[in-house]
């Protein structure tokens, strides 16, 4: 890092001053905390309640049948959340990483950081590592259980592909119940659970990818919580924006979790995973409040940690969003729904989630 003690910002010789000295001075954040402790404490609880509720909603929709959540409401939540995850990767992770350790930053002009553009390199490394882990998990599942795994809509509605013969009996699916409500059929959401081999196969084929996704989102949530706890004048803007931000991300997490079939011995896991996401940001906010007089989000060390974690998380979410969410659900899904109405809803929800989350990047 540049020697700040030898740099006088009030008497700069542009012919001799180093670019690093000038940029490091301009990027200095300092501790911007400006009080409003009551509002910050309220943010902790509001984000806890709202983001946790959003995360639990898709899981409840497929597990508590008496709620009778319409499948179109579920599909909107699921694909809106997918769009949110993809926009988060590019707008809320990769771009801030450039702002922390990119070539035009204090970190990016110092030492070994100046030798390469690290944000895309770290994100690329993250993508390739996640691909290797995903591929290894897929190979393991294929060797142990065979290639077939329950499709997304098979799990949430209990349907099986046409022409699959005795598939209901073979893998334990049940046809959805149809009930009349004001003369219209209601297609009930269901979640596949139990102890059959098909459930084990579906669980093992999907849980690794989900855990990687949640791991990446939690990284991001920790940084968000710390920054909100010590934010200065921008706190009043960040507060409402991050309530929506964390709720939308939670919706994406819950939607992906809701279609994973869990064996009976692990039926507690989806609830714990939802709660883990809901607690992460509030805990980070509490830590930020505890460090409100000393933590400097613009310091060299904080910038390196934040930039590296954002880059890693960006790679995780880019891979998960484009491969697990888009490619597998839309392009390579042999059981993609034939209903144009349903497909239209899925696509509109996807683009809406992506667009709204990208817009939130203007403020947070």
Domain contains 171? no
In angstroms, the CA 32 to CA 28 distance is: 11
Q: What is the pLDDT of residues 39-56, one digit of tens each?
A: 889 999 999 999 999 999
Residue 113 lies in a domain: yes
- Cα separation of 152 and 159, whole Å? 10
pLDDT confidence of 225, banded at 50, 70, 90?
A: confident
Over residues 88-99, the pLDDT tens digits come to 999 999 999 999
Q: Which residue is listed with tokens 């910050």? A: 40
Domain that holds residue 122: 33-146+194-362
The pLDDT, as a whole number, for residue 1 is 47
Give the residue among 188, 191, 192 at the shortest CA–CA distance from 68: 188
Host H or E run for residue 111: none
Of the pLDDT bands very low, low, confident and very high (cuts 50, 70, 90), residue 197 is confident
Residue 46 lies in a domain: yes
Residue with tokens 């989900």: 210
For residues 273-291, give the mean pLDDT.
Answer: 90
DSSP line for 177-238? PEEEETTEEEE-----EESSHHHHHHHHHHHHHHHHHHHHHHHHHHHHHHHHHH--TTHHHH
Question: Would you say residue 177 lies in a domain?
Answer: no
Query: Tokens for 237?
Result: 């803007």
Q: Which residues pair with 68 in a beta bridge?
A: none
Q: What is the bridge-based pairing of β-strands 184-187 and 178-181? A: antiparallel
Residues 278, 225 contacting (CB under 8 angstroms): no
Number of structural domains (the chain) is 1
Provide the whole-model pTM.
0.80
Whether the CB-CB separation of 46 and 243 falls below 8 Å is answered with: yes
Which of 18-22, 111-115, 335-339 holds the top average pLDDT? 111-115
161 in any annotated domain: no
Q: Of all residues in the chain, what percent carry a pLDDT higher than 90?
A: 34
- 186 within domain boundaries: no
Of 174-178, 265-269, 347-351, the one with minimum mean pLDDT is 174-178
What is the pLDDT at residue 11? 63
Q: Are strands 178-181 and 193-194 parallel, antiparallel or unpaired?
A: unpaired
In a domain, 20, yes or no: no
**pLDDT attached to residue 56:** 93
Using only C-alpha atoms, the chain has a radius of gyration, in whole angstroms, of 23
**Among the ranges given (10-19, 121-130, 148-157), the one the predictor scored with the smallest mean pLDDT:** 148-157
Answer whether residue 27 shows pLDDT above 90.
no
């Amino acid at each position: 890092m540049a020697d700040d003690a030898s740099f006088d910002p009030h008497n700069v010789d542009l012919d001799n001053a180093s670019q690093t000295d000038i940029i490091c001075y301009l990027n200095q954040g300092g501790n911007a905390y400006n009080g409003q402790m009551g509002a910050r404490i309220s943010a902790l609880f509001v984000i806890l309640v709202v983001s946790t509720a959003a995360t639990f909603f898709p899981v409840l929709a497929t597990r508590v049948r008496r709620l009778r959540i319409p499948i179109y409401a579920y599909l909107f939540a699921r694909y809106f959340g997918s769009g949110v995850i993809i926009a988060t990767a590019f707008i809320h992770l990769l771009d801030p990483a450039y702002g922390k350790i990119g070539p035009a930053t204090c970190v990016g002009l110092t030492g070994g950081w100046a030798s390469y553009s690290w944000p895309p390199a770290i994100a690329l490394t993250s993508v390739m590592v996640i691909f290797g882990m995903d591929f290894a998990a897929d190979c393991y599942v294929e060797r142990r259980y065979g290639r077939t795994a329950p499709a997304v809509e098979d799990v949430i509605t209990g349907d099986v592909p046409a022409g699959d013969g005795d598939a209901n009996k073979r893998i334990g699916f049940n046809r959805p119940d149809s009930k009349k409500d004001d003369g219209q059929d209601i297609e009930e959401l269901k979640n596949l659970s139990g102890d059959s081999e098909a459930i084990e196969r579906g669980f093992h084929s999907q849980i690794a990818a989900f855990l990687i996704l949640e791991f990446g989102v939690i990284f991001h949530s920790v940084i968000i919580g710390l920054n909100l706890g010590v934010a200065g004048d921008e706190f009043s803007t960040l507060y409402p924006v991050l309530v929506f931000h964390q709720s939308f991300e939670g919706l994406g997490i819950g939607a992906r979790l809701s279609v994973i079939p869990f064996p009976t011995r692990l039926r507690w896991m989806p609830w714990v995973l939802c709660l883990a996401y809901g607690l992460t940001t509030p805990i980070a906010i509490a830590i930020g409040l505890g460090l409100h007089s000393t933590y400097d989000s613009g310091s060299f060390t904080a910038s390196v940690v934040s930039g590296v974690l954002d880059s890693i998380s960006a790679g995780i979410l880019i891979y998960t969003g484009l491969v697990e969410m888009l490619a597998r659900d839309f392009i390579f899904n042999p059981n993609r729904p034939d209903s144009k109405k349903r497909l239209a809803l899925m696509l509109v929800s996807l683009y809406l989630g992506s667009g709204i989350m990208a817009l939130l990047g203007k403020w947070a």
